[in-house]
Amino acid sequence: MYRVNITEQMIDIPPQMVITQDKLNASVDAVVYYRIKDVKASIYNVDDHRSQLMSLARTTLRAVIGNMTLTDANENRASINEKVELVLDKETDSYGVEVLRCEIQKIEPPSDVQASMNNVVKAEQEKIAAKDYATATETKADGEKRAEIKKAEGIKQGLILSAEGKGEAIKIVANAEADRIKIVNEAADKYFIGNAQALKKLETVEIALKENVKFILDSDKITTIVTDAAGVSPIPMEKKPKE
């Protein structure tokens, strides 16, 4: 009489060396989960279904991983698990066994290869870090450059506005002076028509009075100059007869 366990069971596949497609040795460890679905077949069709399943799992792992590079094998463990499970389930069907799943535990290269791979990874990380630092430095420099440009543009705009303000002030003063001259000319044209010489004399007297200039003139001509400058005609005085 045979007693058969029909619950889910696990087989631990011992680590084995596998040669990858890129000619590297890798230590591969896995576990396989299965259950007996046909008790009679598991007894009469195979001598020891556990040992047969373990041997088949080892050869299947070597075949699947041997067609992959070490890097691909480590990056595609889920795909390896699926392929091994399908092959084992098909091959052990006659054993009355159903393979439920396969799980890769590790795929490790020799220590010297692992050290080289670690150095490559480290170098790549340092390269990325250096690139990130260079990018950050460039970004900072670009930001400082834009800030300096903004500052220079602000100073330039300030100088332009200051110059425009000064120009506007000069223009206002010039316009005021032009208006004053225009008013004087219009007054001269209106009130001193035909008396340009008298106007000139009046301006001369005005300047002289402002600057406190002294003139030496004949006493007989002082009245004439002042009255002519003021536009006033002297009233002739009658001479009294001598007694």
- Distance, in Å, from the CA atom of 123 to the CA atom of 36, rounded to the nearest integer, reads 50
User: CA dist 90 to 36, 77, 85, Å?
Assistant: 14, 20, 9
Predicted pLDDT of residue 190: 67
Give the amino acid at 194: G
Q: Residue 55 corresponds to which tokens in the numbers above?
A: 């041997």
Dihedrals φ, ψ of 208, to 5°? -65, -40
Q: Residue 115 corresponds to which tokens in the numbers above?
A: 């050290």
Report the relative pairing of strands 97-108 and 25-36 from DSSP bridges: antiparallel
Q: How confident is the model at residue 90 (pLDDT cuts 50, 70, 90)?
A: very high
- Distance, in Å, from the CA atom of 182 to the CA atom of 177, rounded to the nearest integer, reads 8
Predicted pLDDT of residue 243: 52
Predicted pLDDT of residue 89: 93
Residues 203, 231 contacting (CB under 8 angstroms): no
More confident residue, 222 or 41: 41
- Distance, in Å, from the CA atom of 21 to the CA atom of 72, rounded to the nearest integer, reads 10
- Distance, in Å, from the CA atom of 137 to the CA atom of 143, rounded to the nearest integer, reads 10
Q: Any idea what DSSP says for residue 38? A: -
Q: Residue 194 corresponds to which tokens in the numbers above?
A: 């035909």
Return the number of other C-beta atoms located less than 10 Å from residue 83's C-beta: 18
Residues 30, 75 contacting (CB under 8 angstroms): no
pLDDT digits (tens, 9 = 90+) for 32-80: 999 999 999 988 898 899 999 999 999 999 999 999 999 899 999 999 9
Structural domains in the chain plus CATH codes:
9-109 (3.30.479.30), 194-230 (no CATH)
Predicted pLDDT of residue 215: 55
Report the relative pairing of strands 9-19 and 97-108 from DSSP bridges: unpaired
- Distance, in Å, from the CA atom of 172 to the CA atom of 86, rounded to the nearest integer, reads 97
Buried b (16+ CB within 10 A) or exposed e, 125-163: eeeeeeeeeeeeeeeeeeeeeeeeeeeeeeeeeeeeeee
